[in-house]
Homo-oligomer: A and B are copies of this chain.
Amino acid sequence: MVLLPHEGFTVNREGHLELDGFDLVELAERFGTPVYVASERRLKANFRRLREAFRKAYPGETVIAYAVKANYTLAIIRLLLLEGAWMETFSGPELFMALAAGTPPERIVLTGGSRLEKDFREALEAGVGLIVVDSPSELARLNRAAGSLKVKASILLRVNPAIQVPTHPAIATGVAGSKFGVDLASGAAFQAFKEALNMDWVNPVGVHTHIGSRILKAEPFVEAAQRLADFLVELNRELGFEASYLDLGGGFGIPYHPEEFSCPLNLEELAGKVSQAIVGKLEGAGLRLPTLILEPGRSLVGDVEILLARVGNVKETPQGKIAFLDASTNHLLPVLYTGQYFELWPANKADKPPEETVTFAGPLCFTGDVIAVNRRVPKIEPDDVIVVFSVGAYCKSVYSFHNAQPRPPSLLLSEHGVEIVQRAETLGDLAARDRIPPRLYRGETP
C-alpha cells in the first residue's frame, strides 16, 4: 500500500487514488496526461496552519509573503492573496505575475540580487511596498533610481549570517561565500546599513535574510533569527535605529521521502522558538517588536500539486525493469540538478502492495531522463496512471524544454469542481517566437 503524504488523499472502492474526492484515474482519462493537479483545500490549509502557528507564538504582527518563484500559476497566487498573503517576488517577471494576479503593490516584497537602476525604477513606479537590497552597490543604484523619481524607497537590507545550513549546497544561501546578502560578522552589513540611513531617497525599515531551502529543522532558523535580532540591537545601540520589519525569509522544508513523513518540520515548534529568540533579544534591549515577515514557498505549495503521468512502454533489460512515462525530468527538473526524490505510485493500484522493483524513465532522448530508480511498487503495466506526489514547488516553475516537449495543463480541484487554470501549451506556441527570414524560402542555398 502507498504511504500518502497528506490526508487529502484517499483510496476509493475501485482501488483508485483520490485527491479531495476526485478520482485521479478519471482525471487522467478526462484531461489526458501529463497533467498537473492542485488541491485548493490543501493550499488554504497550509497557509492557515503557518499563519496560526505564528499568530499564537509571536506577540507582534506576522506577514506571510508567498515566494512566487516556487509556483507562479496565477490562480495559486490569487488564492493565497485572498487568504491574506503578501507576495515575495524576486525579479521583474515575478513582480509582473504577482501584479497580474491582482496583488496590491503595497503587499509586495521585492527581493533580487543584481538589479540595475531601471529595475528599481520600474519597481518604484509600480509602488512596490518593500524592496530588499542585496549589496552596497544595489543600495547606491536604488538611491539614484528613487531620487530620479523623487520617491522615498522603503528598504530592508539583506544580510548573510554565514551559518551552517543543513541542505543541498546548491540551495543553501545563508552560508559563507554565498552570492547573497551583505556579510554580518565582518561589519560590512552594519556599514551598509549606516550608509543607507544617510541616503536621501532610501528609508531603511528593517533587515532581511534567507538561509536556504528544504530545511527540516527549526534550529537554523532560530540561529538566523538570533543573528538578525542581535543586529537590530546593535543598530539601535549604535545608530538609534528602530526596525519596523524583521524578514526571516523562507526555506521551510517538507517531507518528500516516506522516511521523512514521520519527522516533518514542526511549524508550531518553529514559530515558538523563533519568536522566543526575537522577543528575548529585543525586549531585553527595550525595543518594540518589529513585524515579522516570512517568505515561504515550498511549505505552502509543495504538497498541493501532483503530476499525473501514464505508462507507455515497459521494457525488461538485463539491469531490471524500466517503465517509460509520458512525463519526464522536464516536469521534475530538481531530479536533475539536486537529485531530488519524488514519491510516486500507480493511482489505479493504490490498494495493491509492492511486488516488484521498477525504474521510471521519461520519454526524452537522453540517458539521464530517469525520474525514479528501483522503486518497490505494484506490478507496473502499460497504461497505468502514475501519481508523482508533491511537485507543487520548483517543478512547473523551472520547466525545461528538452526535446521540445510542450508544457502540460494545470487543474485546480475545489468544491467548485475541476477548473483548468493553465491550458496546455500547443505546438504552435513552441514556434510562436520564431521567424524564418523570407530569403530562406527561395529554396536554394543563399
Measured in the bound complex, the distance between the Cα atoms of B427 and A365 in whole Å is: 30
Q: Residue-by-residue, is A98-114 near B (CB-CB < 8 Å gives 1, otherwise 0)?
A: 00111000000001111
Whether the pair B171, A403 counts as a contact (CB closer than 8 A) is: no
Chain B residues contacting A443 (CB-CB under 8 Å) are: 82
**Closest B-chain residue to A311, C-beta based?**
B114
In the bound complex, residues from chain B placing their C-beta under 8 Å from that of A445 are 82-83
Q: Which of B114, B183, B325, B422 contacts A318 (CB 8 A)?
A: B183
Known: A114-B312, A434-B421, A436-B75. Is A365-B69 also a contact (CB below 8 A)?
Answer: yes
Say whether A138 faces chain B, with CB atoms less than 8 Å apart. Answer: yes
Closest approach, in angstroms, between the C-beta of A124 and any C-beta of chain B?
A: 18
Q: Is A286 an interface residue (CB 8 A)?
A: no
Q: Report B-chain residues with C-beta under 8 Å of the C-beta of A97.
A: 404, 430-431
**A398 lies within 8 A of B397 (CB):** no
Within residues 239 to 256 of chain A, which ones have a CB less than 8 A from any CB in chain B?
none
Interface string of A422-446 (1 = CB under 8 A from B): 1111010111111111011101111
Point out the residues of chain B lying under 8 angstroms from A173, CB to CB.
366-367
Chain B CB count within 10 A is highest, among A90, A101, A171, A407, for A90
A367 and B180: CB pair below 8 A? yes
Instruction: Count residues of chain A with CB under 8 A from any CB of chain B.
Output: 109
The reply to whether A177 and B436 contact each other, CB–CB distance below 8 Å, is no
Q: How far is the CB of A45 from chain B (nearest CB, A)?
A: 13
Decide: A399 near B401, CB < 8 A? Known: A101-B436, A179-B315, A436-B101: yes
Chain-B contact segment, one of A57-65, A229-237, A412-420: A412-420
Interface residues as binary, A158-194 with B (CB distance below 8 Å gives 1, 0 otherwise): 0000000000011111011111100100100000000
- Mark contacts of A361-373 with chain B using CB atoms, 8 A cut-off: 1 yes-contact digit, 0 otherwise: 1011111111000
Contacts of A419 in B (CB 8 A): 435, 437
The listed residue with most B CB atoms (<10 A of its CB), out of A115, A212, A317, is A317
Assuming A74-B431, A421-B436, what are 14 further A-B pairs, CB within 8 angstroms? A75-B440, A91-B403, A93-B403, A94-B403, A96-B427, A114-B313, A114-B325, A134-B313, A135-B313, A173-B367, A177-B319, A398-B402, A400-B401, A409-B433
Pairs A–B under 8 Å by Cβ, sample size 22: A74-B434, A74-B436, A82-B445, A91-B363, A91-B404, A93-B427, A111-B365, A112-B363, A113-B361, A114-B361, A114-B363, A116-B312, A135-B315, A137-B315, A169-B367, A178-B367, A183-B317, A337-B368, A400-B401, A422-B434, A424-B433, A429-B433
